[in-house]
């Protein structure tokens, strides 16, 4: 805890105006920031952009030690350019409010050192994956707190200072075990991927797998956006994501990414891919269309690439609502399975493919 400037000093810094609306409540937030270790410069900058509560949260999460700006840290390193490249690869702006805390300094040093084990390009690519994954987790957590906790508190009449103090206390108490849980999940996923059968391309530049790739698209979300129905869109997308994640994981597949109203997934066995695609369509309260293709995929930095991926993405456009379009490779591998029936949809001209592509519609086989 640092000394809190008196009211006269706070007025001189422009952090307190006793005549301003809500001055007493704002004064409590200013004092909270200084109690947590804010410097006058940090407080003034945060006040300028209306983010004193956010500064308090930042300070509550900082470990002991020296916090410095990026230029100071980078210029003191052995490779300032690489440090700045790593910072940008992590998705952190050079001129934003985020500074180099002691733990972030150790993280940057580790990532820079990784360039000696991997190529610099691979190390930067790994940093981009870490940055994008952490950014998504952070935004999801912050948004959840704002909508489910902070907004109801403010609507009920709770002062801003109370929310700021509660958020900082919660961050100190709950963030460490949350990060421990993330660490445990990461380790389990690392073990899971270690078990996967894999190969490489001929030049040995990337890992390859044989997979069925699927794209599932929520039909009608664009119309919801145009209608301006944000609550309906949010509810539909949330239901879609929950359903996709549940169905794909139960089938032993992996949701590679969620892209707004679309999910990309991979499964080892094409018959399982067909079964989960049918489950998705049948269980969804809103129309879904799915495209499936089987073949070799290139694994790069947590994502998959190649012709099989492109084909699955294009097949979604061929499928209508509540339907599943599959490639000929999927049909051939699953054709002997009595659980499924296939209808020939003919050959289609698909973007990115020179020759017309055979497309089939998969349904459940009639019983009896």
Contact 6, 31 (CB under 8 A): no
- Single pTM value for the model: 0.75
CATH architecture type of domain 202-364: 2-Layer Sandwich (3.30)
CA distance 117 to 141: 33
Q: What are phi and psi of 209, to 5 degrees?
A: -135, 160
CA distance 363 to 195: 32
**How many other C-beta atoms lie within 10 A of the C-beta of residue 81?**
9
At 275, list the tokens. 């079964």
Q: What CA dihedral angle connects 111, 182, 309 and 86, to 10 degrees?
A: -20
b/e burial code for range 280-307 (CB count within 10 A of at least 16 → b): bbeebebebbbbbbbbebbbeeeebebe
pLDDT digits (tens, 9 = 90+) for 82-94: 999 999 999 998 8
DSSP conformational letter for 148: I
pLDDT digits (tens, 9 = 90+) for 256-294: 998 878 999 999 999 999 999 999 999 998 899 999 999
pLDDT digits (tens, 9 = 90+) for 292-320: 999 999 988 889 999 999 999 999 999 98
The domain locations on the chain are 202-364
Packing angle of the helix pair 120-145, 80-89 (nearest 10 deg)? 40
Contact 25, 34 (CB under 8 A): no
pLDDT digits (tens, 9 = 90+) for 142-190: 888 888 888 888 788 888 888 888 888 888 898 899 999 999 999 998 8
**DSSP H helices in the chain:** 7-12, 23-35, 40-48, 52-61, 70-75, 80-89, 102-117, 120-145, 151-155, 160-195, 221-226, 230-250, 270-283, 307-318, 328-334
**Confidence bin at 238 (pLDDT 50/70/90):** confident
3-class DSSP state for residue 319? coil
3-class DSSP state for residue 220? coil
Instruction: Tell me the pLDDT of the chain averaged across its residues.
Output: 89
3-class DSSP state for residue 125? helix
Element (H, E) at 208: strand 207-218
CA distance 207 to 190: 15
Is the pLDDT at 195 greater than 80? The verdict is: no
* pLDDT of res. 1: 53
**How many other C-beta atoms lie within 10 A of the C-beta of residue 160?**
17
Element (H, E) at 297: strand 288-300
């Amino acid at each position: 805890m640092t000394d809190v400037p008196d009211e006269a000093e706070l007025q001189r810094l422009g952090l307190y105006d006793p005549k301003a609306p809500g001055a007493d409540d704002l004064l409590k937030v200013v004092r909270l920031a200084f109690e947590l270790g804010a410097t006058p410069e940090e407080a003034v900058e945060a006040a300028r952009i209306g983010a004193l509560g956010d500064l308090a949260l930042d300070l509550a999460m900082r470990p002991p030690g020296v916090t410095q700006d990026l230029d100071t840290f980078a210029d003191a390193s052995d490779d300032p350019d690489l440090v700045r490249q790593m910072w940008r690869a992590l998705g952190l702006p050079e001129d934003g409010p985020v500074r180099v805390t002691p733990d972030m300094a150790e993280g940057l040093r580790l990532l820079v050192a990784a360039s000696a084990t991997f190529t610099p390009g691979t190390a930067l690519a790994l940093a981009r994956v870490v940055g994008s994954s952490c950014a998504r987790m952070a935004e999801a957590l912050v948004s959840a707190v704002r909508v489910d906790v902070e907004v109801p508190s403010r609507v009920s009449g709770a002062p801003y200072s109370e929310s700021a103090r509660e958020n900082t206390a919660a961050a100190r108490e709950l963030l460490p075990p949350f990060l421990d849980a993330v660490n445990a999940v990461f380790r389990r996923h690392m073990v899971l991927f270690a078990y996967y059968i894999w190969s490489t391309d001929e030049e040995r530049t990337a890992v390859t797998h044989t997979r069925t790739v699927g794209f599932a698209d929520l039909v009608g979300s664009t119309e919801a956006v145009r209608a301006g129905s944000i609550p309906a869109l949010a509810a539909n997308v949330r239901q879609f994501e929950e359903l996709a994640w549940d169905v794909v994981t139960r089938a032993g597949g992996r949701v590679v990414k969620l892209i707004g109203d679309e999910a990309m997934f991979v499964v080892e066995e094409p018959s399982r891919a067909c079964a989960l695609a049918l489950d998705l369509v049948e269980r969804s309260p809103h129309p879904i269309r799915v495209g499936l293709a089987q073949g070799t995929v290139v694994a790069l930095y947590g994502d998959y690439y190649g012709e099989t991926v492109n084909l699955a993405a294009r097949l979604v456009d061929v499928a209508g609502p509540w339907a599943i379009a599959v490639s000929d490779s999927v049909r051939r591998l699953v054709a002997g399975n009595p659980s499924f029936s296939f209808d020939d949809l003919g050959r289609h001209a698909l973007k990115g493919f020179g020759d017309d592509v055979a497309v089939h519609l998969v349904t459940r086989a009639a019983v009896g």
